[in-house]
Structure 1
Amino acid sequence: MMGFFTACDDSIDVTSVDENQYTTSSDAIAYLVNNAGNRGTAMVEFRNQGQAEMYLASSKNAESDVVANLKFDEEVLHAYNDENSTEYELFPKELVSFNSDFQLKKGSNKSGKALVQFATSDALSAQKTYVIPVRVEVKSGSIKLSEKESVYLIFVKDLSTIPTVDKASGIKIISCMEVNDTNPLNNLCFTLKESGKPLIDIVILFSANINYNNETGKVYVYNNPNVQHILDNREKYLKPLQDRGMKIVLGILGNHDRAGVSNLADETARVFAQELKVVCDSYHLDGIFVDDEYSAYQNPAPVGFVSPSSAAASRLCFEVKQAMPDRLVCAYAYGSTSSLPDIDGQQSGTFVDYGIHDYGGSSDLSSNYPGMPKSGMALYSQEFNRGYWTADSNLENMRNDGYGSHMIFAMDPFRDNFDRQKQAMESIADKLFDDELVYDEKPFKKDW
């Protein structure tokens, strides 16, 4: 992304600089950031009306009072589409409003908030992602602007016509489905009595694989016959879930060869992220879940690979979010993905949306994924096949401490232990949502 900025009048001292100078420049350099700490892009889903909370931040304390504002700039999106070979559409300018200026006080490194507000329209499609491209313009004061990060893209989905799965407590339930055994439609069978909402918010299809092609020398996405059948028949198996407001996320797992989520060289990771985007685009998926298991890493690392590391895993997650800023990136807090370092100056918690603990894990993940809010941390994960349950008191503690996600793995009404599975989901309904589980007793068999 590139943008060029000029002052509103001759008395204002504004220049654009390359952000690579952040660590060496003695000047305060301003950039845009949202309330979650995301720089460059953010994703907002809304119904009827929505808003994005933006700030003008500075690498150093400002030497004078600065007043700046945001303006809609469609050229920012044109440049992004050209650079990334994408075709995102503009959100209608007439539906966007900016409610206030940035006020960056002398001696401060962050302004007060400015809201970008937007509204629904019959012309918007729930199946599309639109973009509100903005740039900052300084009205008074003296400050330098980062050329790249003084523009911002707000990716927007209008879900006004789709039911919401959001519950009052705000906690998200992630159902990781072992689709070799189980029909994902079973997530429709469980609702809450008082709210009528589905119990499940996010469904992970577990799992596609990252594989290496010996003939081409390239890494690619492999879907086993079960995963491929579900994707090829998404209208039957996935769309009904999305029509109820659930997100569908594709798991990416090692598959006993040299390729894995934690050993891709930077360029290999970028190319693989683009392939993941093609898969998500083709099957209308809502994101990716990375899991560092079952790879046969080689030492020394072959061409196109590096030694397995959390840095390489973080790079892949970063590149996936760069390729798909409008989709979820989820990481399993296990192996190399259990703790991810910064990439290109961005904290991993700003490009990984959910950090999902291994079974029973309960620690705060702030140091594992710096910048991640508690809402993205999934604690006390349960494994329904092998019987790794969690206590009601753990669910209560998780909620009371402000954590916002919980994962269940291998839910299946046809397993012999289903009564115990249902008991676990009843506890989730009670302790996390103050509600009662309703099971419709109409499970879906695996029919392929």
Structure 2
Amino acid sequence: MLPVVVIAGRPNVGKSTLFNRLAGRRIALVADTPGVTRDRKQAEAKLRGRDVTLIDTAGLEEAAPETLAGRMRAGSASAVEQADLVLFVIDARAGVTPADAHFAQWLRRQGKPVLLVANKAEGRVANSAILDSYALGLGDPVGVSAEHGEGVADLMAEIADRLPPEEEAAEADDEEADRPLKMAIVGRPNAGKSTLLNRLLGEERMITGPEPGLTRDAVSVTLTDAQGRAVEIVDTAGLRRRARVEEALEKMSVGSAIHALKMAEVVVLTLDAVQGIQDQDLQIARLVEREGRACVVALNKWDAVADRNATRKAIMERLEDSLAQMKGIPVVTLSALTGAGVDRLLPAVRAAHEVWNTRVPTGELNRWFEHALEAHQPPLVNGRRLKLRYVTQAKARPPTFVVFGTRAEQTPEDYTRYLVNGLRGTFKLPGTPIRLQLRGTKNPFAEN
């Protein structure tokens, strides 16, 4: 029997869109009209190496049992009874509604593990709703956009982590160890991405040549590293400036490359060391940071660089100045053509992946927080000092922290940077994106 993952929530929050996205194919009908799904839909899917049975349910509504809505709710309740994990979906654009709060309370009474999913979480407007959803008492929310695929890779990982262990613990351990690390090779055209993949594989898997743009589709291959662990590598089309992307085929290639980047755990940004770091390289790096992926910079064609010390210094300074959000990003110098230095790449990828997965114990985190507040107290905002009370880690992949306190949401950007830099330095989180969310707490004695 496969573990059962049930998708539940009120009507029109995007349950069927999420079901299709997790299943990897269009099974459930999707429309803007509430109540399109009436019967439960079921499909098998593989989420981060775990085979599961997905069940899409009708929207949860309060209704008399004999009505259509009542029968639909009964069917949803029956699905929840057999669930190993319930994905409770809310609409981040609409915020937490009374119906969401009601059904969250109902779900807690069912005694089933629940993972809170804030769908339609594209854009900044959704961030406040994601933070507000902590009030539902269902733990840390996972923000996704099922329609655009944003955050779905993180959701799959969270689902896999929360599923019950398989019958044989040894088999489960073996499966986790065997699950390949997902890595994408990205960069501008002609940076040597396909040559690098061929060198890693030890065979001419990809067509290479001096002409830029030979790779059109994102191509996935799996290799075993020196430690016997699997790595799934995706070679992608070169990413040019948007204004220069003209033909329909190239647009699809770029779209495929960006999708591969979003689905990866670690991104290897390949630079042409002879040309040095370009603005487009930095744009790609910012996209990696925005998507919350771990990143390793591969300085390719290192064998052709005349003044290596000056080149390395110039590139490192540009990275430090332009990518403050990924301070300490690991850099590997190599030549995909000759193979020099390529053996250092996968160990650097593994190290970046480990940092990206870091979880900091709550006690250590709050001891650091107390020292940080004493060393540099929170600033005054509108004549009143901010009172930041405690911090917790919401999730890893990338490390995400939530600071709670009175008017914490008004914390200035420079103080937020101070806290992020402190987290990065104290807990050894070089090069990985760090998310810091600030959530205000209500004063019960304040006048309404």
TM bucket, shorter chain: under 0.3
- Looking at secondary structure, tell me which structure has more helix per residue: 2
- Looking at secondary structure, tell me which structure has more strand per residue: 1
**Greater relative contact order, per chain length (Cα 8 Å cut-off, separation 6+):** 1
- TM (norm. structure 2) is 0.28
| Higher-Rg member (1/2) | 2
